[in-house]
Chains A and B, each alone.
Chain A
Amino acid sequence: GDSVTQMEGPVTLSEEAFLTINCTYTATGYPSLFWYVQYPGEGLQLLLKATKADDKGSNKGFEATYRKETTSFHLEKGSVQVSDSAVYFCALSTNFGNEKLTFGTGTRLTIIP
C-alpha cells in the first residue's frame, strides 16, 4: 500500500537558519505530493503541491521538488522565521478515483529567536 516516511522530529532551529525536512514515499502509479502545515490549535493548511515528476512546488519561501528517481519530496526554506514554528505533514494522493490522502507522521518545527 501507499506510505509516506518523514524525518523524525522535533526539529529546533535558530531564526534565519536553513531548513530541510525529508520526505520519501512509496506508492503505486504516479502520486501527487503535498506539504501541509498545522499551526498550534488550528487545522491543516496546504503549503505546496506537485503533481508530476520534476515539478517544484513553492509558497511562502518554502520549496519542494518531486523527485521520482529517489521517491522524495523534501521541504526546504532558506531562512526560517519564528512564525514558521508548526507541525509539517508530507502527504500523497494517487488520484485514481480514490480521494484518500496518505500522511506522514508529521515533523514538529520550533524556531528560536
Chain B
Amino acid sequence: DTEVTQTPKHLVMGMTNKKSLKCEQHMGHRAMYWYKQKAKKPPELMFVYSYEKLSINESVPSRFSPECPNSSLLNLHLHALQPEDSALYLCASSQPWDGYQYFGAGTRLSVL
C-alpha cells in the first residue's frame, strides 16, 4: 500500500468556522508533511512532523494548527481562515532519511 489518504476531498467554510483536514498513511513512514498549493504554483511547505514531533513550522499563521496523534495520522485544524487561504492542501509522508515523499490527492479548500 503506497497510498496517502486525505479527507475530505473538498471543503467549503466560512471565516468563522472551525474545521479539520485529515491525512492517513500505512506505509510505516515516520515523517509527515502539510503543504499548501495555490493555482499554477508549486506546493509550499507548511509543517513537518518527524517521529510524531513537530520539526518544521514554516512561519504559518496560528489559524492553522497541526496535530500528529500517532505515526499514521496527521490533522490540520483550521480556525478563522481568510479567503486568501483558499487553496489545495496536500499531505505527504516519507521516511525521515529518504528525500522523496508520497503525496495524497489533497483537500481543495474554499473560504467564503
Within 8 A of B (CB), among A49-90: 49, 51, 89
> Chain A residues with Cβ under 8 A from B103's Cβ?
36, 43-45
Contact of B42 among A31, A99, A100, A103 (CB under 8 A): A103
A94 to B41, CA, bound (A): 22
Contact check, B100 vs A34: say whether CB atoms are below 8 A apart.
yes
User: What residues of chain A lie closer than 8 Å to B104, measured between beta carbons?
Assistant: 43
Q: Which among B14-22, B48-56, B60-68, B76-84 touches the partner chain?
A: B48-56
Q: How far is the CB of A32 from chain B (nearest CB, A)?
A: 4
Q: A43-B104, A43-B105 are in contact. Are A99 and B40 (CB under 8 A)?
A: no
User: How many Å from the CB of B23 to the closest CB on chain A?
Assistant: 11
Across the interface, do A32 and B40 meet the contact criterion of CB distance under 8 Å?
Answer: no
Chain B residues 66 to 110 lying within 8 A of chain A, measured CB to CB, are 90, 92, 94, 96-106
Give the contacting residue for B90; candidates A31, A43, A100; CB below 8 A.
Answer: A43
Max count, chain A CB within 10 A of own CB: residue among B42, B43, B56:
B42
**Is A101 a contact of B90 with CB atoms below 8 Å?**
no
Indicate if B45 sits at the interface (CB-CB under 8 A).
yes
Q: B106 contacts A99, CB within 8 Å?
A: no
Task: Determine whether the beta carbon of B105 is less than 8 Å from that of A42.
Answer: yes
Given contacts A99-B50, A100-B56, A103-B43, contact A46 B102 (CB under 8 A): yes
Chain A residues in the interface with B (C-beta under 8 A): 31-32, 34, 36, 42-46, 49, 51, 89, 92-95, 97, 99-101, 103-106, 108
Q: Which 10 A-B pairs have the closest CB atoms?
A: A93-B99, A32-B99, A103-B42, A43-B103, A44-B103, A43-B105, A43-B106, A95-B99, A99-B31, A43-B104
| Interface residues, chain B, with chain A CB atoms under 8 Å away | 4, 6, 31, 33, 40-43, 45, 48, 50, 55-56, 90, 92, 94, 96-106
Question: Can you list 18 A-B contacts with CB-CB less than 8 angstroms, sorted by A residue number?
Answer: A31-B99, A32-B99, A32-B100, A34-B99, A43-B104, A44-B43, A44-B103, A45-B103, A49-B99, A51-B99, A93-B99, A94-B99, A95-B97, A95-B99, A97-B96, A99-B33, A99-B94, A103-B43
